[in-house]
Amino acid sequence: MTTGTPSVFIQIWVDTNALQNGSTRGVYVVDNRVSNGSSNEGSANLQTSVTNGSVVNWQVFNVDPTATGAKSIQAISNSNAWGPGGQPQSDPTYGGFTGQVQNVGTAPYSVTFNAQKQAGSAAITTTVNLTMSVH
């Protein structure tokens, strides 16, 4: 269970014109922690550096603000970073998914999201493999 307001924000930016099934081409992941040691900012392999107990929020956006296709996070995988509070869940208050890091160390996890190139088109499912570094 997540407690508190998110202080760490991870955004997945998608260029739906470049998006293809099975590829992370056109996917850029950023966070608000670069001054705290995050690395690979703007790639599909972001490593986020956070303090233990931090509440994290993930959202997906389209690079083109006029694009009409829907986009949404489907799941965030299990990870040693989440701890006894469980993995991040869909969050109607803040949007996207929110979870809390509860274990010190560096742990991989993945985010699976759907994005449409345009409204009414078939959704393309993409998974990015990210890392959480908890200290």
Phi, psi of 9 (to 5 degrees): -125, 125
pLDDT given for residue 3 in this prediction: 65
Angstrom distances, CA of residue 129 to CA of 5, 60, 76, 109: 25, 15, 10, 6
Cα separation, 122 vs 80, whole angstroms = 33
Tell me the chain's radius of gyration from C-alpha atoms: 14
Instruction: Report the DSSP beta bridge partners of residue 62.
Output: 14
pLDDT given for residue 72 in this prediction: 95
pLDDT given for residue 78 in this prediction: 95
Which CATH fold topology does 8-134 show?
Answer: Immunoglobulin-like (2.60.40)
The domain locations on the chain are: 8-134
pTM for the full predicted model? 0.94
In terms of C-beta density within 10 A (0-12 exposed, 13-18 middle, 19 or more buried), how is residue 31 classed?
A: buried
In terms of C-beta density within 10 A (0-12 exposed, 13-18 middle, 19 or more buried), how is residue 119 classed?
A: exposed
One pLDDT digit (tens) per residue for the chain, 135 residues? 556 899 999 999 999 888 888 889 999 999 999 999 999 999 999 999 999 999 999 999 999 988 888 999 999 999 999 988 899 999 999 999 999 999 999 999 999 999 998 888 899 999 999 999 999
